[in-house]
């Protein structure tokens, strides 16, 4: 490891990647049994399982770097220490998966498609030059992610070119997602140092690449960070609620071996 500064920036970046996949995997799992049809239920569950696996790879690396045990990092860390973007912590809709779930499929499709595109842009940048063990993890994740991309792209394209109602719902969802998409590209307070140390390229470069991949002309939205600043630990109350549910069993017998 080159220096203390390098180590600090590397760890910060891995937390961002890990927490994003972890939270979105959880939001995906809340759809289990509620997806629009049975084939989608199977597919979405499988994608969410992959995302949880990706998060586990990153947390495993953090454990090796001395950040503590994986279970502690996921189940026993205060929400202020989570580095995920606000976009992935937002609920799927109103209600919970147990009580009156009124989840928004358009929002889910747009969130997952836009997030997966952003994930691809970020991982491609890390593949070019970064910490070697992180590059290896990212190569593995990229292979699995290509299937997720195909999946969400099909949903996105079909819904946006469907009925007038579908189109207006998708546009509504896009405005919600764009309002937080800036937070996915943000690296937080030490971002300029991550860039300088060649851990990843600049936010601007990545955002531009994302727009090229989206390949939609006349897009009238711009990327913002409306409801907080996840990379700097400023979250909505939805994160604390999600983490409380996720860690309920773990917290019930704190001394148990899992």
Partner 1 sequence: MILKEKVMKVLDTVKDPEIPVVSVVDLGMIHNVSVYNDRVTIEVMPTFSGCPALEIIKRNIELAVESIPEVNSLSVAFIRHPIWTTELVSEKGKQELKKFGIAPPEARVEGEWHVPCPYCGSVYTTMDNIFGPAACRSILYCKSCKNPFEAMKPVSI
**49 lies in the site for partner 1, by CB under 8 A:** yes
* Shortest Å, Cβ 25 to partner 1: 8
Which one among 24, 35, 51, 117 touches partner 1, defined by CB under 8 A? 51
User: CB 254: neighbour CB atoms within 10 A?
Assistant: 9
Which one among 6, 8, 34, 53 touches partner 1, defined by CB under 8 A? 53
Which one among 6, 11, 34, 56 touches partner 1, defined by CB under 8 A? 56
Site stretch for partner 1 (CB under 8 A), options 53-61, 71-79, 123-131, 160-168:
53-61
Decide whether 32 or 150 has the Cβ nearer to partner 1: 150
Distance between the two ends of the chain, CA-based, in angstroms? 32
Decide whether 148 or 169 has the Cβ nearer to partner 1: 148
**57 lies in the site for partner 1, by CB under 8 A:** yes
* Shortest Å, Cβ 85 to partner 1: 21
Site stretch for partner 1 (CB under 8 A), options 66-74, 144-152, 163-171, 182-190:
144-152
Backbone φ and ψ for 254, nearest 5 degrees, come out as -60, -25
Tokens found for residue 224 = 């913002």
In order, the DSSP letters of 48-117 are HHHHHHHHHHHHHHHHHTTS--HHHHHHSS-GGG----HHHHS-SEES-SSS--EE-HHHHHHHHHHHHH
d(CA 242, CA 82): 12
**196 lies in the site for partner 1, by CB under 8 A:** no
User: If you search the block for the tokens 């300029």, which residue do you land on?
Assistant: 192
**158 lies in the site for partner 1, by CB under 8 A:** no
Site stretch for partner 1 (CB under 8 A), options 9-17, 104-112, 147-155, 191-199:
147-155
3-state SS class at 229: strand
**23 lies in the site for partner 1, by CB under 8 A:** no
**47 lies in the site for partner 1, by CB under 8 A:** yes
d(CA 49, CA 45): 6
Decide whether 37 or 255 has the Cβ nearer to partner 1: 37
DSSP assigned state of 47 = H
**b/e per residue, 160-188, with b = 16+ CB within 10 A?**
beeeeeeeebbeebbebbbbbbbbbbbbb
User: CB 31: neighbour CB atoms within 10 A?
Assistant: 21
Decide whether 136 or 189 has the Cβ nearer to partner 1: 136
**How many Cα atoms are found within 13 Å in the side-chain-facing hemisphere of 49?**
7
3-state SS class at 31: coil
> How many residues interact with partner 1 (rule CB under 8 A)?
25
Which one among 147, 196, 208, 224 touches partner 1, defined by CB under 8 A? 147
Residues in 103-142 at the binding interface with partner 1, rule: CB under 8 A? 133, 136-137, 139-141
- Provide the binding-site residues for partner 1, judged by CB under 8 A: 39, 42-43, 45-47, 49-54, 56-57, 133, 136-137, 139-141, 143-144, 147, 150-151
């Amino acid at each position: 490891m080159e220096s203390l500064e390098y180590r600090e920036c590397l760890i910060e970046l891995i937390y961002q990647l890990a927490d994003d996949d972890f939270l979105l995997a959880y939001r995906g799992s809340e759809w289990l049994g509620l997806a629009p049809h049975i084939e989608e239920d199977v597919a979405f569950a499988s994608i969410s399982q992959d995302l949880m696996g990706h998060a586990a790879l990153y947390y495993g690396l953090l454990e090796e770097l001395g950040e503590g045990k994986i279970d502690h990092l996921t189940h026993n860390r205060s929400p202020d220490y989570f580095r995920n973007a606000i976009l992935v912590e937002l609920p799927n809709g109103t209600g919970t998966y147990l009580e009156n779930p009124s989840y928004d499929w358009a929002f889910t499709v747009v969130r997952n498609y836009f997030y997966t595109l952003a994930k691809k842009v970020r991982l491609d940048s890390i593949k070019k030059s970064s910490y070697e063990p992180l590059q290896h993890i990212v190569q593995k994740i990229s292979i699995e992610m290509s299937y997720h991309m195909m999946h969400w792209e099909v949903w996105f394209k079909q819904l946006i070119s469907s009925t007038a109602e579908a189109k207006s719902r998708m546009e509504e969802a896009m405005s919600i997602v764009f309002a937080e998409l800036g937070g996915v590209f943000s690296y937080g307070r030490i971002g300029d140092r991550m860039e300088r140390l060649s851990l990843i390229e600049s936010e601007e470069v990545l955002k531009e690449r994302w727009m090229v991949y989206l390949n939609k002309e006349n897009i009238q939205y711009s990327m913002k960070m409306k409801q907080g600043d996840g990379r700097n630990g400023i979250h909505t109350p939805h994160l604390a609620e999600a983490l409380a549910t996720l860690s309920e069993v773990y917290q019930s017998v704190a001394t148990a071996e899992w």
